[in-house]
C-alpha cells in the first residue's frame, strides 16, 4: 500500500497516520522524493484502504502488492514525462532518439557528430567516458577530462548528454557535466550506486542487467525512486541466453510488459541488443512497433575505426536512413 502525504501536513497528522498503520499490522517506510512525500506500507493484512483516505494529511492511497511500488502503474496510471529542459522531453508523444559513439573519442568527433544529430532532429547525444569493458586490457574510456570537453560542446550546440556512471565516487565529479546519468547493464543491481543516484536531481536511465529479470529492473528503479529521484527511464538492451548467433538476445517482449507494469518511459538499445550493425535497423523498427518510447543507438563516422563497439555502430548514412524510417513508422502507429 502507498499513502501519499499532503505537502502541508503537520507532524501530529503524520504521527496519527503512522499509528493507524501500525495498529493494522503494517510496517511503514517514509519516502521523501524531490517532488512528494509517501509512506510505503508493507503488511499481510487485508484492510479497507478507504479508511486512510479519511485521515487528515493523506493526499492519496492505493494498494500495490508488487515488490516495486512507486514505479508501478498501479500507483500512477499516467505516463511519466522526463523534461530535460530547452524543449527536450522523453515520453511526451514525440519518440526520443539518443545517439552517439560508444565511447567519446575526441572533441572533433563530437562536433562532427552533433551536426549529424541536429540535422536529424536528435537532441540527446550519448557517449561513454568511463567504459565497463569485459577485459581489463581493453580501452577503458577517456575519463572525466573528456566528459568536460563533451559537455562544453553539448552546451555550445544545445545538445543534452547521457553518459554512464560506473561507481558512487564518480557521481559528484560527473554531476556538473551530465544531463542524464546512465546506469549500465553491469551495474543494474548496484544498489549503492542506485541509492546515491536517488539523491541527485538529474534524470537516471537504468539498463536491464545482463541476466536481469523485468521484475529486478523495476526493483532497481524503485531503489532510485525511493531514495528521492522520480525522474527515471528504463532501457531494454538485451539479455544473455544460450543463443550465440548474436551478441545479446534483445527481449522486445519486455517492452509491452514494462509499459503495462510501470509509468516510466521505456527505451530500447538495439545496438547492444543484437550487436550486429546490419541488424540494428530492423530491430530498432521492431522496438518502435512493440511500443518503445525511444531508442538508444551507437553511431560512428567510421565504425571500423571506433575505439569500442564499432561492429554494432551505424555509420552516418545508415543512421540517417534509420531516423527517417523511424519517423515514418511513428506516423503510422
Ligand atoms: C553502453 O551503452 O555503451 C554500454 C556499455 O551498455 P550496456 O551497459 O548495456 O552494456
Ligand atoms: Mn557500447
Q: Are residues 120 and 178 in the same domain?
A: yes
Residue 64, pLDDT above cutoff 80:
yes
Tell me the per-residue pLDDT of 283-306, one tens digit each, with 9 for 90 and over: 999 999 999 999 999 999 999 999
Atom of ligand 1 nearest to the CA of 309: 3
Q: Are residues 211 and 282 in the same domain?
A: yes
Q: Are residues 240 and 131 in the same domain?
A: yes
pLDDT at residue 47, rounded to an integer: 84
Q: Are residues 125 and 177 in the same domain?
A: yes
CATH number at residue 278: 3.20.20.70
Q: Are residues 58 and 193 in the same domain?
A: no
Tell me the per-residue pLDDT of 300-326, one tens digit each, with 9 for 90 and over: 999 999 999 999 999 999 999 999 999
Q: Hey, whose CA ends up nearest to atom 1 of ligand 1?
A: 102
Is 230 part of a structural domain of the chain? yes
Residue 92, pLDDT above cutoff 80:
no
Q: Are residues 162 and 255 in the same domain?
A: yes
For the residues 126-137, what does the mean pLDDT come to? 96
Reduce the secondary structure of 31-85 to three states and give it as a string.
Answer: EECCCCEEEEEECCCCCCCHHHHCCCCEEEEECCCCCCCCCECCCCCCCCCEECC
pLDDT at residue 49, rounded to an integer: 87
pLDDT at residue 50, rounded to an integer: 86
| Ligand 1 mutation target, pool 98, 99, 102, most atoms within 8 A of CB | 102
Residue 167, pLDDT above cutoff 90:
yes
Residue 227, pLDDT above cutoff 90:
yes
Cα-flanking dihedrals φ and ψ of residue 90, to 5°?
-115, 130
Rounded to the nearest 10 degrees, the angle between the axes of helix 107-119 and helix 316-332 is 30
d(CA 257, CA 264): 12
d(CA 241, CA 266): 22
pLDDT band (50, 70, 90) for residue 150: very high
Q: Which ligand is nearest to the CA of 206?
A: 1
| Ligand 1 mutation target, pool 99, 269, 296, 303, most atoms within 8 A of CB | 269
With beta carbons less than 8 A apart as the criterion, state whether 191 and 197 touch.
no
Residue entry with cell 559537455: 151
pLDDT at residue 8, rounded to an integer: 94
CA-to-CA separations, 137 to 131, 170, 186, 204, 312, in angstroms, rounded: 12, 21, 18, 29, 20
Is 95 part of a structural domain of the chain? yes
Q: Hey, whose CA ends up nearest to atom 8 of ligand 1?
A: 184
Q: Hey, whose CA ends up nearest to atom 10 of ligand 1?
A: 185
Q: Which residues pair with 82 in a beta bridge?
A: 90
pTM for the model stands at 0.96
Q: Hey, whose CA ends up nearest to atom 6 of ligand 1?
A: 184
Is 206 part of a structural domain of the chain? yes
pLDDT at residue 96, rounded to an integer: 95
Q: Which amino acids bring their CB within 6 angstroms of ligand 1?
A: 102, 128, 132, 184-186, 207, 237, 272
Burial of 16 (0-12, 13-18, 19+ CB in 10 A): middle
**Side-chain half-sphere of 169: how many Cα atoms within 13 Å?**
2
Report which of residues 127 and 332 the model is more confident about: 127
Q: Hey, whose CA ends up nearest to atom 3 of ligand 1?
A: 102
Q: Are residues 219 and 313 in the same domain?
A: yes
Q: Are residues 55 and 111 in the same domain?
A: no
Domain range enclosing 125: 82-332
Amino acid at each position: 500500500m502507498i499513502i501519499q502525504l499532503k505537502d502541508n501536513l503537520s507532524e501530529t497528522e503524520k504521527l496519527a497516520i503512522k499509528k493507524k498503520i501500525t495498529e493494522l499490522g503494517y510496517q511503514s517506510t517514509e519516502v521523501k522524493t524531490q517532488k512528494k512525500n509517501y509512506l510505503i506500507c508493507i503488511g499481510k493484512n487485508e484492510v479497507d484502504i478507504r479508511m486512510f483516505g479519511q485521515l487528515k494529511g493523506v493526499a492519496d492511497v492505493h494498494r500495490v502488492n508488487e515488490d516495486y511500488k512507486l514505479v508501478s502503474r498501479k500507483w500512477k496510471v499516467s505516463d511519466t514525462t522526463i523534461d530535460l529542459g530547452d524543449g527536450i522531453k522523453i515520453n511526451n508523444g514525440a519518440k526520443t532518439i539518443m545517439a552517439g559513439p560508444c565511447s567519446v573519442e575526441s572533441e572533433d568527433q563530437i562536433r562532427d557528430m552533433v551536426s549529424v544529430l541536429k540535422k536529424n532532429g536528435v537532441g540527446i547525444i550519448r557517449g561513454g567516458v568511463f567504459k565497463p569493458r569485459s577485459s581489463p586490457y581493453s580501452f577503458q574510456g577517456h575519463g572525466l577530462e573528456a566528459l568536460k570537453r563533451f559537455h562544453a560542446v553539448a552546451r555550445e550546440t544545445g545538445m543534452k548528454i547521457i553518459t554512464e556512471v560506473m561507481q558512487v565516487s564518480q557521481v559528484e565529479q560527473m554531476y556538473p557535466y551530465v544531463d542524464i546519468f546512465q546506469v549500465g547493464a553491469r551495474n543494474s543491481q548496484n544498489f549503492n550506486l542506485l541509492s546515491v543516484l536517488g539523491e541527485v536531481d538529474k534524470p537516471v536511465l537504468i539498463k536491464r542487467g545482463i541476466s536481469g529479470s523485468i521484475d529486478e529492473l523495476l526493483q532497481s528503479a524503485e531503489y532510485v525512486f525511493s531514495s528521492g529521484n522520480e525522474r527515471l527511464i528504463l532501457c531494454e538492451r538485451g539479455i544473455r541466453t544460450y543463443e550465440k548467433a548474436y551478441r545479446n538476445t534483445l527481449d522486445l517482449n519486455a517492452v509491452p510488459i514494462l509499459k503495462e507494469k510501470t509509468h516510466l518511459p521505456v527505451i530500447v538499445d538495439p545496438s547492444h541488443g543484437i550487436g550486429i550493425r546490419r541488424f540494428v535497423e530492423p530491430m530498432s523498427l521492431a522496438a518502435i512497433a512493440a511500443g518503445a518510447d525511444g531508442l538508444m543507438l551507437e553511431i560512428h563516422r567510421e565504425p571500423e575505426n571506433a575505439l569500442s563497439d564499432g561492429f554494432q555502430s551505424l555509420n552516418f548514412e545508415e543512421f540517417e536512413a534509420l531516423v527517417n524510417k523511424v519517423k515514418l513508422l511513428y506516423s503510422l502507429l
